[in-house]
A and B are shown apart, each in its own frame.
Chain A
Amino acid sequence: MTPRSTYQRMLGWGGRCVVSLILAFLLLPAIVVTIAAFNDKAILSFPPQAWSWRWFARALDYPDFREGFHNGLIVTAWASTIALMVGAMFAFVIDRYSFPLKRAIEGVLVSPLVIPHFTVGLGFLILAAQIGWSRGFAVVIACHVILVLPFVLRSVYVSLRNLDQSFEQAAASLGATPLRVLLTVTLPLLLPGLVSGWLFAAILSFNEFTASLFVTSQRTQTLPVAMYNYVREFADPSMAALSVMYIVATAALIAFANAFLGLGKVLNIEQSE
């Protein structure tokens, strides 16, 4: 390496400043919402005159939030698990075989990435009405499965690409049946990809809002829908307190995923040399 000139060093510091400013922009809402959540008064003011935890207690007590949380868990558990199974199986056949309609099915299943969520929501709302489904959990879950499937597909597909098939060939040559190879070799090797796919699907489903607004009813409304209704009606910091809990839980899950699964690898952004 040649010694760095003053000019290059200045460029480096300039770059650091720009990146710090951008990070501040990314973090600003989280910081501000945290300050607002601990404000004792019901009306927004900066800086707060007195501090309190009472909005956290109110957020945890508010019936619509509790019910939304409960409904959200039901929808998320079903949707992410179904999406994981459907997505993992299909990623497997995409990776291994070519067959008619492969590209067509894959294209349809990844298309929700670019189709607006309000269109997906309206579609499932109309479809449910047409086939006579009541607006229960089934239609919400079906809608969420479709919305999170592209992420599961990608996550499992990337792991399958990185999988060394010689382990499977070794097992097969020793006489293991295809099912046994799948269950005892492929599945364990795929576990990190499956876990990260399921985790992403669960987080996305739990936070999904626009399509949920269309397909949920008063009885099945998920937490984001309950929060949206709250923001429209009330201005007190309960919502800020709930947001803080949300942000902390999500950041913890992401940090966990990063520590145990290597987010850089899942997102395919490791520097290649």
Chain B
Amino acid sequence: MNQRPFLRSFTAPAALCALGFVAAMAAVLQYSLRAYVPGSLDPGGFTLANFADLLKPLYARVFLDTVGICALTAIATLLVGYPLAYALVRIAHPLLKSALLVVVVTPLFLGEVVRTYAWIIVLGNNGFINSLLRGLGLIDQPIQLMFTTFGVVVALVHVTLPVLVIMLAAALSHIDRDYQRAAESLGAGPIRVFLTVTLPLSMPGVIAGVTTAFAWTFSAFATPQLIGGGRVNMISNLVYQLGFASFNFPFAAALCVAGLALTITVLAILRQAAKPFENIGAH
């Protein structure tokens, strides 16, 4: 009798999907090494020129801006997300907990366009915040929030918050409460318990959440496009412009490859940073 029923037939479709995805990524890599032929959709011969072009100040600047925005967003998401994750795990009342969970999770599934549009209405010159401040007589001229890095980061934090909160809540919920009780019984105050017990034990979740926030921000397109309005550019915006405005797919592909290399480097660094915390609290 077959000791491992369904092994082949259940693996085949997944293997096929994996193969298709690898082929798509290989296509990007291949295009990044081809020459751009202006006016033609077909690429020319093999070249490294696309990667040399990445070093031009114009593109290097976008890379730096992108990394800066991603880092800023990831840190801001962590600061805002930690208290929320903590509350989500600690609230005992089931109805309150469910309501909180729905509020936290819903933005995750709303999609970038709806969320970005909503933030345009909040941040615009005739938007909610400026109207409110003018109505209260606090300002005469609208504060410029649209087309600024600040506006883009605020909207991006809203995007990354749910996923960080979920990952952090998962880590917090698996911390053995006995550690905290032990610290309390030895006379540590709540802040000391948090700083010396809870925070270190939740570090794997912190790093997983920050990593994902960083990667998701890197992937954002509609938010920098619509709220940045051309004045705040990320790699995603450049890739789209190159592809669909100038049909320079080889260079767009090179940007994707470089972006991916950057993401992988950052993820590797963060994973390395997580190492010291891996065995804390293990039984």
Contact = CB atoms under 8 A, between A and B. Distances in A.
A105 interface: yes
Given A209-B111, A210-B112, A33 B121 contact: yes
Contacts of A207: 109-111, 114
A258 interface: yes
Interface residues of B, number: 97
B72 interface: no
B178 to A, nearest CB: 9
8 contacts: A26-B107, A120-B24, A126-B27, A182-B5, A209-B222, A239-B117, A269-B88, A273-B177
Nearest to A131: B23
A64 interface: no
Contact of A109 (B7, B14, B101, B219): B14
B114 A26 contact: no
B144 interface: no
Interface in A221-272: 224, 227-228, 231-232, 239-240, 243, 246-247, 250-251, 253-255, 258-259, 263-264, 267-272
B145 interface: no
B118 A122 contact: no
A213 B221 contact: yes
B69 to A, nearest CB: 13
A272 B122 CA distance: 39
Interface string A27-61: 11110110110000001111100000000000000
B11 interface: yes
Contacts of A85: 13
B106 A250 contact: yes
B63 interface: no
Given A29-B119, A207-B109, A210-B221, A46 B6 contact: no
A245 to B, nearest CB: 10
With most chain B CB atoms within 10 A of its CB, the pick from A115, A146, A214, A263 is A115
Contact of A251 (B10, B102, B170): B102
Contacts of A46: 126-128, 131-132, 135
B260 A115 contact: yes
A267 B170 contact: yes
Interface string B17-50: 1101111110110010000000001000000000
A-B pairs, top 3 by smallest CB distance, nearest first, are: A207-B111, A29-B118, A123-B24
Given A126-B28, A142-B20, A119 B256 contact: yes
Contacts of B158: 25-26, 29
B120 A231 contact: yes
A154 B233 CA distance: 33
Contacts of B11: 89-90, 93, 99, 105
Given A26-B107, A117-B221, A247 B114 contact: yes
Given A118-B236, A263-B101, A269-B89, A247 B111 contact: no
B267 A116 contact: no
A63 interface: no
Given A122-B28, A126-B249, A19 B4 contact: no
Contact of A93 (B7, B25, B97, B127): B7
A111 to B, nearest CB: 8
Mostly helix, strand, loop or mixed at chain A's interface?
helix
A44 B127 contact: yes
B200 interface: no
B104 A26 contact: yes
A8 interface: yes
A37 B96 CA distance: 28
B54 interface: no
A263 B260 CA distance: 32
Given A228-B222, A246-B114, A90 B21 contact: no
A214 B22 CA distance: 18
Contacts of B18: 104-105, 108-109
Contacts of A125: 243
Contact of B117 (A45, A115, A227, A255): A227
A117 B222 CA distance: 11
B174 interface: yes
Contacts of B260: 115-116, 119
A110 B256 CA distance: 19
A166 interface: no
A200 B21 CA distance: 21
B57 interface: no
B152 interface: no
Nearest to B13: A86
Interface string B165-206: 010011011101100000000000111000000000000000
B74 to A, nearest CB: 13
